[in-house]
């Protein structure tokens, strides 16, 4: 009888009874505190049902509300009974009705026998460890909290603010250094007795009565005055989410709990029949608790709730534009002008880099998906109307759906411009623009000059507006802009940059260039536009003279002089 | 359960179930705001203070861990998290091939036939008045509403609510009052827990139903939606495409980003 259990019970009395029987069968005396809120009839039935358990006591009942002093009073009263009535008990374990012993209780006893002087209690200073709930760390020890956090949140918050504004601070009793930690501890008789019989206890109790969530700080602080050896960890496996509410274990956690080798876990869902049948397990082991897997799963859950998956917009995650966690899921490339200069560019790029290369996704006739499909990944339709109904979502959906492949698409002034601002601000976007490239298809169209002039003016205006966006201080994308004449002078540099960006670092050196459109007479074409009053300033300068298409072959000198 | 003058023997089946209370009406579905008036009355009377799931007969509720945890676990967890409403988008399921070929037999799992869905073609906007998200898309938008995307049916639903006498659904289970209940989504970039309603609409029964409803005009907007179906393909579409996903389980839907575990682990 070296281990005794103090148990706080407030709901799911049948499960609590089951847990009490487990402890009792393991040879542990149990002192039970039942919340005052449980009505007398249920309480009497509960007591009567446990009449056959040998070493069981019921302590005086107090009202226990979340985060209030009542919980501490309840544990004090029950602990006092435990120390007085069961003199053999060396360690006292504080548990709740929703705690379930996982391993044979004899193993826990062995474990404690090997560490007879250790107090197992999580106890950390507020200065060093940030606590989550309500964001109150140090404040919980120096402010007053007359209003319930659960039921009167607004009043609670306002009162805290006022106190902080006027600089109000309660005095912490001399000798105390505030510590916090999990409320579930296992203390030695010596330490627990010293805390309960401390001559200063009235002073400490008066102080902690007004502290916020005292059940997480009362023992955790006082143990620092009395303990010889503090093991600052809880023997009870208990994980908290971002709201400060304990994670609950269900039947599907069976394997996880089994492998954790923890002694006790909480909270168990009262209807988790499988867990209540499987634990405490009977076969013995000597392993030490290892909670790494459980910790990872619950940490992951909290991250999913607070950070989400970048680039995913869905029914339960719809962030404000300026707060969201990245517009899109992964990096992607927006390529402007290249396919005007090199009609074969899309096919060439898909050969050159491992990426899904789309045509003009925002073309006016339809979305030109890679491979020319009518419906693409995720069921996205190529219908221009559907796309333009919500152009931004079309892109975020496309990048999310294709997140396992690098996505590239062609863009240009002929396309719907709804996404201009979005891609400019998106840190995932890599935007390469050859300005004025739209002039080449016009040049090659052979249409009448008056049509061409009008269209050129329109496209130039659109592209100019877009360039202003790309050059605005809000632009966060990686942007590379060069004029058509610059590109024609050194095409490999710009193309290699695109290939490198897709490869994330250094791509394959370009050996084969895509065929360029024949630019013979392009200079004259631009001059013609200028003569019509439309100056294509985005193309850069092209010489008016005919560009030599192939080096002129000089006539060779004859080796043999013939004739005279 | 409310039986609106059915003629497929459903009433007899339900009457034989020990845990179902059945109400019947022969009035028009449209006149009762898509039946919501009937349900709201019953919920106010019997569901006050309880978690209530409001679904059509062709909607099948999927939520995180639904293969291992009963709905009560979800309700308890939502209670502990101080959450009052739970979103579950409608996910249109369809067969491979023309819907008329997916011949449904009584007692069969409809998703043995209609086992495919669209994973990522949903558009979302926020309804500033009611604060709910307005979601459209899926196979219905791409097959029937490519020319008039704005009229595509809404897919956002809030079917699971800790009911109170003061609550009322506004339009089907798409929106609810008071407006705070519509905030089933996170706005800071995180994900709230959500589920899906698998929609067993596209079976061989679809064509006849579309024609019938188009004439009856009892549905939202005088059955405009059904008129659209009836006009197209003689209401016998093949919704399947190369990129359709085949339903496996809720985890698959979670990974695809259609629903979320949130911080329920």
| Domain containing residue A508: CATH number | 3.40.50
Q: For every residue of A518-556, which 3-state class applies, written as one string?
A: CCCCHHHHHHHHHHCCCCCCCCCCCCCCCCCCCCCCCCC
The secondary element (H helix, E strand) that includes residue A5 is: strand A3-9
Asked whether residue B35 is assigned to any structural domain, the reply reads no
Judge if A276 and A407 occupy the same domain.
no
Residue percentage of chain A with pLDDT more than 70: 94
pLDDT at A446 > cutoff 60: yes
Per-residue pLDDT, averaged over A31-55, amounts to 94
Asked whether residue B164 is assigned to any structural domain, the reply reads yes
Q: Check residues A316 and B224 and name the one with the higher pLDDT.
A: A316
Per-residue pLDDT band for A262 (boundaries 50, 70, 90) equals very high
Asked whether residue A160 is assigned to any structural domain, the reply reads no
Residue-number span of the structural domain to which B227 is assigned: 49-255
Do strands B85-86 and B160-162 pair parallel, antiparallel, or not at all (unpaired)?
antiparallel
pLDDT at B216 > cutoff 90: no
Per-residue pLDDT band for A332 (boundaries 50, 70, 90) equals very high
Q: Check residues A561 and A425 and name the one with the higher pLDDT.
A: A425
pLDDT at B180 > cutoff 70: yes
- The pLDDT value recorded for residue A213 is 86
Helix (H, G, I), strand (E, B) or coil at A483: strand
pLDDT at B206 > cutoff 80: yes
Q: For residue A391, give both structure tokens.
A: 């152009």
pLDDT, one tens digit per residue, over A197-230 is: 999 999 999 999 988 889 989 999 999 999 999 9
User: Rounded CA gap, A21 and A53, in Å?
Assistant: 7
Judge if A278 and A398 occupy the same domain.
no
pLDDT at A156 > cutoff 80: yes
Asked whether residue A324 is assigned to any structural domain, the reply reads no
Judge if A375 and A512 occupy the same domain.
yes
Query: Cβ–Cβ of A318/B121 closer than 8 Å?
Result: no
pLDDT at A323 > cutoff 90: no
Contacts of B257 in chain A (CB under 8 A): 309, 312, 314, 400
- The pLDDT value recorded for residue A326 is 66
User: Rounded CA gap, B136 and B153, in Å?
Assistant: 6
Task: Count CB pairs under 8 A between chains A and B.
Answer: 179
Nearest CB to A323 within list B156, B188, B263:
B188
Judge if A285 and A363 occupy the same domain.
no
pLDDT at B132 > cutoff 80: yes
Judge if A366 and A446 occupy the same domain.
yes
* Cα end-to-end distance, chain A, whole Å: 133
Per-residue pLDDT band for B222 (boundaries 50, 70, 90) equals low
A interface mutation test: which of B189, B245, B259 has the most A CBs within 10 A? B189
Is-contact A249 A265, C-beta < 8 A?
Answer: yes
Q: How far is A54 from chain B (nearest CA, A)?
A: 34
B interface mutation test: which of A152, A274, A315, A328 has the most B CBs within 10 A? A315
Buried residues in B50-68 as b, exposed as e (16+ CB within 10 A): ebbbbebebbbbbbbbbee
Residue-number span of the structural domain to which A347 is assigned: 332-531
Query: Cβ–Cβ of A271/B73 closer than 8 Å?
Result: yes
pLDDT at B68 > cutoff 80: yes
Per-residue pLDDT band for A245 (boundaries 50, 70, 90) equals confident
What does the CA dihedral A504, A507, A510, A516 come to, rounded to 10 degrees? -20
Per-residue pLDDT, averaged over A332-340, amounts to 96
Is-contact A169 A142, C-beta < 8 A?
Answer: yes
pLDDT, one tens digit per residue, over A507-527 is: 788 888 899 999 889 999 999
Question: Which residue has tokens 């009535």?
Answer: A85
- The pLDDT value recorded for residue B65 is 97
Judge if A196 and A341 occupy the same domain.
no
Task: Please tell me what DSSP assigns to residue A354.
Answer: S
Q: For residue A268, give both structure tokens.
A: 């168990």
Asked whether residue B182 is assigned to any structural domain, the reply reads yes
Question: Average per-residue pLDDT in chain A?
Answer: 90
Asked whether residue B224 is assigned to any structural domain, the reply reads yes
Q: For every residue of chain B, which 3-state class applies, written as one string?
A: CEEECCCCCHHHHHHCCCCCCCEEECCCCHHHCCCHHHHHHHHHHHCCCCEEECCCCCEEEECCCCCCCCHHHHHHHHHHCCCCEECEEEEECECCCCHHHCCCCCCCCHHHHCCEECCCCEEEEECCCCCCEEEEEHHHHHHHCCCCHHHCCCCCCCCEEECCCCCEEEECCCEEECHHHHCCCECCCCCCCEEEEEECCCCCHHHHHHHHHHHHCCCHHHHHHHHHHHHCHHHCCCCCCCCCEECCCHHHHHHCCCCECCCCC
* Angle subtended at Cα B9 by Cα B3 and Cα B15, rounded to the nearest 5 degrees: 60
In this structure, chain B runs to a length of 265
Q: How many domains does chain B have?
A: 1
Q: Is the preceding omega at residue A493 within 30 degrees of 0, hence cis?
A: no
Q: How far is A479 from chain B (nearest CA, A)?
A: 26
A interface mutation test: which of B202, B263, B264 has the most A CBs within 10 A? B263
Per-residue pLDDT band for B211 (boundaries 50, 70, 90) equals confident
- The pLDDT value recorded for residue B233 is 58
Query: Cβ–Cβ of B133/A305 closer than 8 Å?
Result: no
pLDDT at A284 > cutoff 90: no
Per-residue pLDDT, averaged over B146-164, amounts to 95
Q: Which of A12-26, A152-166, B44-58, B166-180 has the lowest mean pLDDT?
A: A152-166
Is-contact A428 A403, C-beta < 8 A?
Answer: no
Judge if A374 and A493 occupy the same domain.
yes
pTM: 0.90
- The pLDDT value recorded for residue A563 is 47
Contacts of B148 in chain A (CB under 8 A): 385
Judge if A287 and A339 occupy the same domain.
no
Q: Which of A78-82, A209-213, A392-396, A440-444 has the lowest mean pLDDT?
A: A209-213
pLDDT, one tens digit per residue, over A460-512 is: 999 999 999 999 998 999 999 999 999 999 999 889 999 998 888 777 888 88
User: Which segments of A118-267 are extended strands (E)?
Assistant: 118-120, 124-125, 179-180, 186-188, 229-231, 236-237, 264-265
Locate the chain B residue with the closest alpha carbon to A298: B265
Nearest CB to B120 within list A243, A248, A377:
A377
Asked whether residue B29 is assigned to any structural domain, the reply reads no
Q: How far is A318 from chain B (nearest CA, A)?
A: 5
Of A267, A291, A306, the last residue of a domain is A306
Query: Cβ–Cβ of B265/A301 closer than 8 Å?
Result: yes
pLDDT, one tens digit per residue, over B242-255 is: 999 999 999 999 99
Judge if A216 and A350 occupy the same domain.
no
Asked whether residue A313 is assigned to any structural domain, the reply reads no
Per-residue pLDDT band for A128 (boundaries 50, 70, 90) equals confident
- The pLDDT value recorded for residue B193 is 97
Output the CA torsion sign for A436, A437, A438, A441: positive
Q: How far is A432 from chain B (nearest CA, A)?
A: 27
Judge if A195 and A76 occupy the same domain.
yes
Is-contact B158 B168, C-beta < 8 A?
Answer: no
Per-residue pLDDT, averaged over A411-430, amounts to 94
pLDDT at A551 > cutoff 50: no
pLDDT at A552 > cutoff 50: no
Per-residue pLDDT, averaged over A450-466, amounts to 95
Query: Angle of helix A189-196 relative to helix A69-85, nearest 10 degrees?
Result: 120
Q: Check residues A6 and A127 and name the one with the higher pLDDT.
A: A6
Residue percentage of chain B with pLDDT more than 70: 95
Cβ contacts of A531 within 8 Å, gap of 6 or more: none
Asked whether residue A49 is assigned to any structural domain, the reply reads yes
Per-residue pLDDT band for A550 (boundaries 50, 70, 90) equals very low
pLDDT at A92 > cutoff 90: yes
User: Rounded CA gap, A238 and A184, in Å?
Assistant: 9
Asked whether residue A427 is assigned to any structural domain, the reply reads yes
User: Rounded CA gap, A176 and A201, in Å?
Assistant: 12
Contacts of B138 in chain A (CB under 8 A): 379
Asked whether residue A562 is assigned to any structural domain, the reply reads no
Judge if A352 and A409 occupy the same domain.
yes
Asked whether residue B4 is assigned to any structural domain, the reply reads no
Task: Please tell me what DSSP assigns to residue A287.
Answer: P
Beta bridge partners, B197, equal B61, B90
Residue percentage of chain A with pLDDT more than 90: 70
- The pLDDT value recorded for residue A93 is 97
Is-contact A333 A500, C-beta < 8 A?
Answer: no
Count of alpha carbons within 13 Å of A295, Cβ hemisphere only? Answer: 7
Asked whether residue B21 is assigned to any structural domain, the reply reads no
Asked whether residue A350 is assigned to any structural domain, the reply reads yes
Q: For residue B182, give both structure tokens.
A: 């519509």
User: Which contacts qualify for B38-42: CB closer than 8 Å, 24 or more apart?
Assistant: B38/B2, B39/B2, B39/B169, B40/B168, B40/B169, B42/B2
Cβ contacts of B5 within 8 Å, gap of 6 or more: B24, B25, B26
Per-residue pLDDT, averaged over A236-265, amounts to 90
A interface mutation test: which of B122, B139, B191, B258 has the most A CBs within 10 A? B191
Nearest CB to A389 within list B77, B149, B156:
B149
Asked whether residue A56 is assigned to any structural domain, the reply reads yes
User: Rounded CA gap, A102 and A97, in Å?
Assistant: 14
Q: How far is A302 from chain B (nearest CA, A)?
A: 5
Write the DSSP string, A438-449.
Answer: THHHHHHH---H
Q: Which of A81-85, A129-133, A167-171, A296-300 has the lowest mean pLDDT?
A: A129-133
pLDDT at A557 > cutoff 90: no
pLDDT at A242 > cutoff 70: yes
Per-residue pLDDT band for A322 (boundaries 50, 70, 90) equals low
Per-residue pLDDT band for B7 (boundaries 50, 70, 90) equals confident
Per-residue pLDDT, averaged over A158-182, amounts to 89
pLDDT at B71 > cutoff 90: yes
Per-residue pLDDT, averaged over B48-73, amounts to 96
Q: For residue A446, give both structure tokens.
A: 């052979």
Number of CB atoms found within 10 A of residue A87's CB: 9
Count of alpha carbons within 13 Å of A37, Cβ hemisphere only? Answer: 12
pLDDT, one tens digit per residue, over A360-370 is: 999 999 999 99
Q: How many domains does chain A have?
A: 2
For position A52, which CATH number holds? 3.90.550
User: Rounded CA gap, A64 and A68, in Å?
Assistant: 7
């Amino acid at each position: 009888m070296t281990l005794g259990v103090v148990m706080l019970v407030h709901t799911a009395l049948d499960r609590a009874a089951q847990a009490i029987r487990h402890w009792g069968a393991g040879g542990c005396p149990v002192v039970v505190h039942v919340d005052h809120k449980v009505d007398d009839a249920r309480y009497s039935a509960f007591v009567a049902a446990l009449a056959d358990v040998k070493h069981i006591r019921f302590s005086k009942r107090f009202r226990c509300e979340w985060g209030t002093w009542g919980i501490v009073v309840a544990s004090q009263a029950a602990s006092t009974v435990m120390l007085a009535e069961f003199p053999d008990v060396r360690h006292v374990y504080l548990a709740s009705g929703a705690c379930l012993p996982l391993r044979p209780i004899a193993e826990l006893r062995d474990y404690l026998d090997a560490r007879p002087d250790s107090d197992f209690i999580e106890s950390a200073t507020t200065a060093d460890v940030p606590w989550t709930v309500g964001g109150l760390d140090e404040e919980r020890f120096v402010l007053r909290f007359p209003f319930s956090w659960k039921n009167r949140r607004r009043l609670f918050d306002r009162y805290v603010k006022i106190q902080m504004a006027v600089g109000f601070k309660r005095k912490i009793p001399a000798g105390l250094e505030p510590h916090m930690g999990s409320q579930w501890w296992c203390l030695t008789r010596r330490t627990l007795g010293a805390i309960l019989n401390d001559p200063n206890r009235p002073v400490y109790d008066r102080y902690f009565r007004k502290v916020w969530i005292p059940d997480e700080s009362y023992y955790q602080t006082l143990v620092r005055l009395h303990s010889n050896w503090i093991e600052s960890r809880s023997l009870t496996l208990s994980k908290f989410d971002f709201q400060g509410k304990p994670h609950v274990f269900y039947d599907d956690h069976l394997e996880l709990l089994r492998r954790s080798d923890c002694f006790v876990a909480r909270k168990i869902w009262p209807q988790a029949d499988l867990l209540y049948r499987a634990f405490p397990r009977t076969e013995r082991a000597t392993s030490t608790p290892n909670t790494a897997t459980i910790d990872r799963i619950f940490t992951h859950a909290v991250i999913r709730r607070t950070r989400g998956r970048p680039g995913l917009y869905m029914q339960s995650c719809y962030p404000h534009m300026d707060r969201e966690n990245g517009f899109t899921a992964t990096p992607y490339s927006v390529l402007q002008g290249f396919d005007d200069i090199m009609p074969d560019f899309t096919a060439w790029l898909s050969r050159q880099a491992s990426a899904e290369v789309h045509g003009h996704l925002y073309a006016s006739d339809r979305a030109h998906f890679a491979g020319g499909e009518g419906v693409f990944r995720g069921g996205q339709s190529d219908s221009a109307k559907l796309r333009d109904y919500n152009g931004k979502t079309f892109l975020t959906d496309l990048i999310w759906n294709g997140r396992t492949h690098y996505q590239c698409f062609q863009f240009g002034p002929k396309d719907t411009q709804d996404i201009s601002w979005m891609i400019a601000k998106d840190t995932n976007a890599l935007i390469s623009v050859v300005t004025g490239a739209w002039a080449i298809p016009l040049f090659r169209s052979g249409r009448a000059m008056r049509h061409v002039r009008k269209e050129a003016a329109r496209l130039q205006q659109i592209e100019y507006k877009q360039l202003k966006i790309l050059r605005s201080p809000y632009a966060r994308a990686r942007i590379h802009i060069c004029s058509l004449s610059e590109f024609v002078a050194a095409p490999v540099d710009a193309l290699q940059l695109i290939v490198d960006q897709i490869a994330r670092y250094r791509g394959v050196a370009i050996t084969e260039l895509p065929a360029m459109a024949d630019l013979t007479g392009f200079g004259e074409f631009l001059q013609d536009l200028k003569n019509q009053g439309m100056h294509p300033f985005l193309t850069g300068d092209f010489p008016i003279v005919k560009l030599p298409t192939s080096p002129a072959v000089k006539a060779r000198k004859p080796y043999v002089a013939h004739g005279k | 359960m409310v039986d609106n003058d059915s003629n497929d023997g459903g009433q007899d089946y339900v009457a034989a179930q020990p845990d179902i209370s059945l109400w019947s009406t022969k009035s028009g579905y449209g006149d009762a705001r898509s039946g919501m008036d009937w349900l709201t009355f019953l919920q106010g009377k019997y569901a006050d203070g309880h978690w209530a799931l409001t679904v059509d007969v062709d909607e099948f509720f999927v939520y995180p861990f639904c293969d291992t945890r009963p709905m009560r676990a979800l309700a308890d967890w939502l209670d502990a998290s101080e959450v009052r409403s739970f979103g579950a988008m409608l996910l249109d399921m369809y067969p491979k091939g023309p819907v008329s070929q997916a011949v449904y037999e009584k007692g069969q799992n409809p998703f043995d036939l209609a086992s495919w869905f669209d994973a990522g073609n949903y558009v979302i906007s926020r309804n500033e008045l009611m604060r709910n998200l307005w979601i459209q898309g899926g196979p219905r938008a791409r097959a029937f509403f490519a020319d008039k995307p704005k009229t595509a049916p809404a897919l956002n639903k809030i079917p699971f609510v800790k009911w109170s006498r003061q609550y009322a659904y506004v339009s089907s289970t798409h929106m609810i009052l008071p407006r705070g209940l519509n905030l089933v989504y996170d706005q800071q970039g995180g994900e709230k827990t959500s589920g899906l309603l698998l929609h067993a609409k596209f079976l061989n029964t679809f064509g006849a139903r579309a024609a019938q409803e188009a004439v009856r005009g009892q549905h939202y907007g005088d059955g405009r939606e059904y008129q659209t179906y009836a006009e197209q393909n003689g209401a016998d579409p093949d919704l399947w495409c190369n990129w359709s996903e085949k339903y496996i389980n809720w985890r698959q839907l979670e990974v695809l980003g259609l629903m979320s575990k949130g911080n329920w682990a």
